[in-house]
Chains A and B, each alone.
Chain A
Amino acid sequence: MAVEHNKNSERPVAEKGEHIIARHLIDDDAIKEEKNLVIDGVDVSGRWNTFIETRVDSEFDRSFFDEIQKTVVGSRINRCWQCGMCTASCTVTPLYRRFNPRAFIYMMQLGNLKLLKKYTDVAWRCVGCYKCSQRCPKQVNPAEMMEALALLIKKYFPEEIKSNHQLTIDEEVKKIYEGMILGHGRLDLANLHTSAMRKMGKTTELMSDKDERGAIFKMMKDGRALSVLRLGKPHKWHKSKDAIDNYLRHTGTLEQEK
């Protein structure tokens, strides 16, 4: 069967799937329709070649479940019984109703990638408040499960993330972040804040705002500014530092191999 796309035909065709009754019930990407198509020399352009992909799931993809279970953050995926306590506790769900930890865990359990793909825009929005993990009656640890989800989405739908949501790692922020952790063993929020401001080109705002200036002056006066500078390092920090260093170098090589 010879299929050729009839590029030259200027025949006017309907909008995609326009003639389908109850069109609103069918997802756009489930409709397969070529505007201009010739099969075995017969021109079937337009509605004649319309196909609707089946809306029935024909398998549960358990390999996906196994993959999640092997990760440290997703190891408890088999515990979830879908009570909804996590979504009910969630800080993010009231803001983004489509961010639903319980539903995401279920999709991961059944390996429903087709459905997960629709949530690449919200799937990474967990803020890590851990309210869900604290309340989960089965101790699934949904907060870390969301981390597993984010890793997964990054792995399976890298294009979606790049093209639609500009979720690329900011190398500069990464450098500041790693420098802080390795140098001091803790985060310096003031430093992160100022570097972010600087990055956005808001250098003048940094010092111009009355409140901000006032705050800095106040902190100088009561000695808090000094104590921030004198910030100590965690006990036996060099050992932890070596381990983190090692890990970062290790992941670096891993990424290069890929």
Chain B
Amino acid sequence: MAENILVIGGGPAGLHAAIELAELGVNVSLVERDTFFGGNPKKFKYKYLFPDLQPAENVIGELIKGAESNNNIKKYLSANIESFKEDGKKFSAVIKSSTGSETKTFDSVIVATGFEHFDPAKDSKYSYQLFDDVIDIKDLERMMGEGNFTRPSNGKPPKNVAIILCVGSRDRHVGNQYCSRVCCTVSVKQAIELKEHFPETEVYIFYMDIRTYGFYEDLYWKAMEEHDVQIVKGRVAEITSGPDNTVICKGEDTLLRGPFEIPFDMVVLASGMEGGPQSPEMADKLGIELDEHGFLKQANVTLSPFKSNKDGIFLAGACTGPKAIADAILEGGAAAMDAYIYAKKNS
């Protein structure tokens, strides 16, 4: 008899886990809260992915196609887990979707509920939502996805753009002490895209550290050496309105030791990643633990990063912490293996 495995979340990690398990002949139930699969990359219409700037459609589109064409995967859209309880070594869950409620028994569970973009409006110093020309990376990503690179306020090409790193990350003041890992690379990627679209636009990146780790460093070098993107060391502490429909970034150039107040046509806030409301909700429903950062807690960050603190429930993707799409897909596969082994042993 085939094993039954529940996958919660239809983003990159969940989709990849479901496809891998289905390939092994497992009966997979894939539960997604939105009306579509693809998670945040689909929701916010990511256009190109770092590091090789390949179309997001190549990756997310392939995953969605793979899941939709596989008959071993039972797909639930606009769905949620209404109730969940342990049943010996197995789990019993009520899945509520547009087609009604369904009670099923599973041998193991993979949680891949992902992350939420930090909302910069929570940090008032950046004046997000106060000025049209102050946007964040997900806004710019969506604009670029729609082929629109112009200023939101007047639809004209920006003369200069400021990209501010570490918004909502590495900040006790907003409550997120961690580094969101991908914003530096995403910002550098966006700087390149902006420069490719408008070569005349000056792009400045305000940084404290540039954490384009590993091979993502190539992208950062490329931004400076091929596209003349200028980096300025210092975190911006205030955004106010300026003359001629500009916004002023007030900060300190910590290398030259001095304050600056420079008007920009457009400001992009590199907002980080948060565990979102879904993480505590899952922890509560499934009886697993949250970590101190608001993400789901791994049993052992080094030895068993895909296990939760409860046997039979596994974790994959950004629900355990900020990570790149490539890492989320990789974790989907790894958690699928862990979940399969557990199901095989106990069925």
Contact = CB atoms under 8 A, between A and B. Distances in A.
Interface stretch (A60-68, A97-105, A215-223, A231-239): A97-105
Specify which of B166, B174, B253, B259 lies most central, judged by the most chain A CB atoms within 10 Å of its CB.
Answer: B259
Interface string A113-127: 000000000000000
Interface stretch (A1-9, A79-87, A205-213, A243-251): A79-87
Contacts of A82: 254
Contact of B235 (A85, A97, A100, A139): A85
A94 B259 contact: yes
Nearest to A134: B173
Given A85-B235, A89-B238, A102 B252 contact: yes
Contacts of B234: 83-84, 88
B170 A137 contact: yes
A84 B173 contact: no
Contacts of A139: 172-173
Contacts of A137: 166, 170-174, 235
A88 B172 contact: no
A170 to B, nearest CB: 31
Interface residues of A, number: 22
Interface residues of B, number: 23
A50 interface: no
B151 interface: no
B172 A84 contact: no
B100 interface: no
Interface string B128-155: 0000000000000000000000000000
A103 B252 CA distance: 11
B88 interface: no
A161 to B, nearest CB: 23
A88 B252 contact: yes
B305 interface: no
B172 A135 contact: no
A107 B125 CA distance: 27
Nearest to A138: B172
B236 interface: yes
A150 interface: no
B286 to A, nearest CB: 33
Interface string B148-185: 00000000000000000010001111100000000000
B173 A88 contact: no
B259 A93 contact: yes
Interface in B204-230: 208
A83 B173 contact: no
Contacts of B173: 134-137, 139
Contacts of B235: 83-85, 88, 137
B251 interface: yes
Nearest to B172: A139
Interface of A: 81-90, 93-94, 97, 100, 102-103, 134-139
Interface of B: 125, 166, 170-174, 208, 233-238, 250-254, 257-259, 261
